[in-house]
Amino acid sequence: MTAQEIRSLGLDEKTEYFRGLLSNLDNSNEADILNVFRLVNSYNSFDDDFFTNEASYISDISEFIDIRMSLEKEISDFSLEMVKWYLSALASCDIRANDDEDSKVDMPMLVYGFFASATIPMMSAMMNSVDMTAIDMAHLYKVKGAFSLLARMFRSHAFVATYLGQF
């Protein structure tokens, strides 16, 4: 389906579409990833043109709130999964945790795309919003390319912090 076709769906159909997106971590569609990111990362203010952007599946703030409220459990489960992958990426960068016998996994595309847009403060807020006791720290993934992804996130954070420090 195109973004315009999804945008024209009724609220219930659109909610079901997002439910499917939140449960399919292998999704590689950029517009889907952007829309999931916006749905989950709601504490951030929206760009003025977010709802009018042709890639946005959501038409207005009231629809956004309705979808978000309907998918509260799914968003919570998705957030927990994102935190698990984030902690896995951090643990994968520990040289003591990596030996030749560990089998590393590729990060699912939706997770990778989500992290490509994420910030360190956002991930910290997400960690505060989930039940961390639900994550078995002894069974985190060994993630391929974790260092590169985290380095990009930290560079972005440092760039923004430096820029804001100038004012």
Q: 8 or 97, which is more confident?
A: 8
Encoded tokens for 97: 């945790």
Q: What average pLDDT does the segment 12-37 reach?
A: 96
User: Are residue 59 and residue 138 in the same domain, yes or no?
Assistant: no
> Across-strand partners of 105?
143
Q: Cβ distance 25 to 61 under 8 Å?
A: no
Q: Are residues 158 and 81 in the same domain?
A: yes
Statement to judge: residues 77 and 115 lie in one domain: yes
Same domain, 8 and 66: yes
Regarding whether 105 and 38 lie in a shared domain, the answer is: no
Average pLDDT estimate for 61-65: 91
Domain range enclosing 34: 3-71
**Claim to verify: residue 65 and residue 77 sit in the same structural domain:** no
Reported as a single tens digit per residue, the pLDDT across 96-108 is 655 655 678 999 9
Angle between helix 11-23 and 72-92 (nearest 10): 20
In this predicted model, what pLDDT tens digit does every residue of 116-148 receive, in sequence order? Answer: 888 888 899 999 999 999 999 999 999 998 888
Q: Is the domain of 49 the same as that of 90?
A: no
Residue 56 and residue 42 share a domain: yes
Residues 22, 55: one domain?
yes
94 and 140 in a single domain? The answer is yes
